[in-house]
Amino acid sequence: MRDILIASAVSLLLSIFGTPLAIRLFSRRGYGQSIREEGPSGHHDKRGTPTMGGTVIVIAALIGFACAHLMSWTPPTISAVLVLFLMTGLGAVGFLDDFIKIYKQRSLGLRSGAKALGQLIVGAVFAVLVTRFPDAYDITPAETRLSFLRDFGPSIGLVGFTIWVLIMIVGFSNAVNLTDGLDGLASGATGAVLASYILIGNWQLRNSCTAQLGPNCYWVRDPLDLAVVAAAVLGALIGFLWWNAPPAKIFMGDTGSLALGGVIAGLAITTRTQLLLIILAGMCVVITTSVIVQVGFFKMTGKRVFRMAPLQHHFELAGWAETTIVVRFWIIAGLCAAAGLGLFYVEWVPK
């Protein structure tokens, strides 16, 4: 618990005081956001707002995590290192995408193929390594099986598992990226998921099969350190949200959204709650589904289901104020996280 508090506190302080420095630095260098011409007209006022703020989130989270281990004088676990690698690697892909947008002064950065390739390379390395490094109890960070509240069913093999992990990583990193359309929206939505994983990691530690065998115990390697990772990223995200809340002084950009999508996917894989993430991050899933429905229906019929996709822009064009959309979507994100946690704990409710 002490490591969780230290990691979150350090990353929060670094983020809340470091973000203004990033705003000044990026503004001085002209690292401003480009806006799509076909987007909602209200977004044109945001042109030039500093972007790439996700660098602050990633750096603050890494330092917060490191400080927690330095102060407790314990080495980081391989599960946590792999999740942080995934976050940082995807953040680097997003940083390159953001930089190209700024350098070429356009709303599109990396070509979709190059961006996907970067995500796949980082995800493939993670997928292969996460099934290695057994501990003293022969528990690896992940097994080649599907999971909901824990692993279930037979092994799907290394190739099948790698494909599944890549689907998760690319899917959720892009889902958070699509959610990041309004000031503070993605920060609040992913913050609820990270808070859930702090609770999940703590509960898995208290009911680990390595401490006491029981019908509902968890075969999870390093649950406490995974909770520390979630706390470090959450602290950094809250500090960033102080400046990203409407009206935003800085945007996280693809640097932040891809990194955040990666870290929640990594936490789901290493805590053996892969399918549960669909519920925990339900807000991001709904927004992504709206894009799939919009594109698919338009290709089939030439008509649109929504005024504009992703879903948050539909409500903008319907006349909702941006802050109204953000707060209401935060409420939905919180309810999704609560529903996921309810399912996680329900098997422990006395019958």
Binding annotation for Mg(2+): 177, 254
How distant is the alpha carbon of residue 238 from its chain centre?
A: 13
Residue 126, class by beta-carbon neighbours within 10 Å (0-12 exposed, 13-18 middle, 19+ buried)?
A: buried
Under 8 Å CB-to-CB from 346, ≥6 apart: which residues?
none
Distance CA 310, CA 284 (A): 10
Sign of the dihedral through C-alpha 270, 274, 276, 282: positive
- The residue count for the chain: 351
Backbone φ and ψ of 219, nearest 5°: -95, 75
**Phi/psi of residue 152, each to 5°?**
-145, 160
256 and 57 Cβ atoms separated by less than 8 Å: yes
Sign of the torsion angle spanned by Cα atoms 106, 111, 116, 119: negative
Report the C-alpha gap between 55 and 62 in whole angstroms: 11
Query: Binding site membership: which residues?
Result: 177, 254
Q: Which residue has the tokens 């929504």?
A: 306
Phi, psi of 218 (to 5 degrees): -115, 130
Of the candidates 32, 19, 16, the one whose C-alpha atom is nearest the C-alpha of residue 98 is 32
Three-point CA angle 11, 262, 255, nearest 5°: 65
> Kindly report the CA angle at 214 between 212 and 216, in degrees rounded to 5?
120
* CA contacts within 13 A on the Cβ side of 257: 27
Strands (E), the chain: 146-147, 151-152
